[in-house]
Structure 1
Amino acid sequence: MHLYQCPCGYAYEPEKGDENKGWKPGTPFEKLPDQLTCPSCQRAKMHFREKSFSVPLK
């Protein structure tokens, strides 16, 4: 699993998308508009960092 996180803590998860913004589940971060800003702090897209992690199986 991976997500893209803004320094303020907001995270975009491509698997979930963001229906409020019109980004359907499965929309890759790279396909989001270059003028994207964080909905929490308004930082530019370039400030987001990719985070990858494993989810343990139960």
Structure 2
Amino acid sequence: MSKETAIIRAIVESRVAGTDRALARYMCLTCGYTYDPKRGDAKGGIEPGTSGDDLPNDWCCPTCGKDQTYFARRDD
């Protein structure tokens, strides 16, 4: 992960520190795709209700293919 990506991730995560992690949405910092635990990821075999913390380690962005190190929690 680049220094710029790490800084962006730190800023985003600090803004959502109080957000319920089970309901938190995660955004790909490369393409903007948002993983929403309420919807899951049908293409990736992820059932609705799966929190971002419970995604399999090999799960990647369904839009651009980046791994989870490129994702940050959203604050909205």
Q: TM-score range by the shorter chain?
A: 0.7 to 0.9
Q: 1:34 aligns with which of 26, 32, 57?
A: 57
Q: Say how many residue pairs are matched.
A: 53
RMSD: 1.5
Matched residue, 2:13: none
Give the Cα separation in 1 of the matches to 2:73 and 2:32: 12
- In structure 1, stretches of 5+ residues that fail to align are 54-58
Give the Cα separation in 1 of the matches to 2:33 and 2:51: 16
Question: In proportion to residue count, which structure has more strand?
Answer: 1
Q: Which runs of 4+ in 1 moved over 3 A?
A: none
Using structure 2 for the length normalisation, give the TM-score.
Answer: 0.60
- In structure 2, stretches of 5+ residues that fail to align are 1-22
- Relative to structure 2, which stretch is displaced further, 42-51 or 19-28? 19-28
Using structure 1 for the length normalisation, give the TM-score.
Answer: 0.75
Matched residue, 2:35: 12
| Percent of matched pairs sharing the same residue | 36
